[in-house]
Structure 1
């Protein structure tokens, strides 16, 4: 098994784990959220004067989490099109599923070439984010010698 892969263009993990690990021809990405890599801020979060979360923009968080996944894939010499399976965690399925699904359709317009997907509604994530993705991808061209 290969050593962990750390992507400088993605937000730092919130724990002691790599962004990804390559095993054979597959890449396993750790859970990735929408935090900004440079500032660690969560795009679209609105806080009150005491720092309590008042609301968030799920569409902005979706676009940001997709950008972070792309950054990790690029660090692994893989592409967006190499995704084969995505597990999505939403903290408010009833409120956010339709908007998230619409953004997903922009990024994956052809359902026949989109990765497999499972979407789960959960109570909370480790940081104040509304979405997190757990992905499996085919290893990139440099790693496999294909394309």
Structure 2
């Protein structure tokens, strides 16, 4: 289910709810800007691959599971916006442990974008934390065809 209002703001139940007062995406002209998208499950809010201590702290996580989930969530927001995976032109990746997770994340990226000539531009940043106990978040921009979406 997608709702697009007059200001070109997109929210969808097919992706996890934002953790603050912002939309999943906003269209400006022929560009679509996605807010930071994480790997949480849209229906349950669970984080794939996380294992917790009894007190709620993360014991361990699976970056492969989280990377696959974040790609699925990005795809859900794109589709709710009338865009396609192939419309992505720029992706900023935030990893909470660059040394541990970059190689595994990069392998998942290569599965989703096997041809570097058609892949979106990408910047990957190592950061200390994200607002929920996730290890990865993507910030994306898509270019929409004229008269589309």
Shift of 1:3: 3.4
1:130 alignment partner in structure 2: 135
Which aligned runs of 4 or more in structure 1 are off by greater than 4 angstroms? none
Deviation at 1:8, TM superposition (A): 1.5
Instruction: Check if 1:51 corresponds to 2:56.
Output: yes
Match of 1:108 among 104, 113, 123: 113
When normalised by structure 1's length, the TM-score is 0.94
Query: Cα RMSD between the aligned structures?
Result: 1.2
Cα separation, 1, equivalents of 2:105 and 2:46: 20
Secondary structure class of the residue paired with 1:17:
coil
Name the counterpart of 2:3.
Answer: none
Indicate which of 113, 118, 125 corresponds to 1:120: 125
Q: Distance in 2 between matches of 1:137 and 1:2?
A: 17
Cα distance in 2 for partners of 1:24, 1:49 equals 48
By how many angstroms is 1:2 displaced? 2.8
* d(CA) in 1 for partners of 2:76, 2:96: 23
Following superposition, the deviation at residue 50 of structure 1 comes to 1.9
Q: 2-side partners of 1:38 and 1:21: how far apart?
A: 22
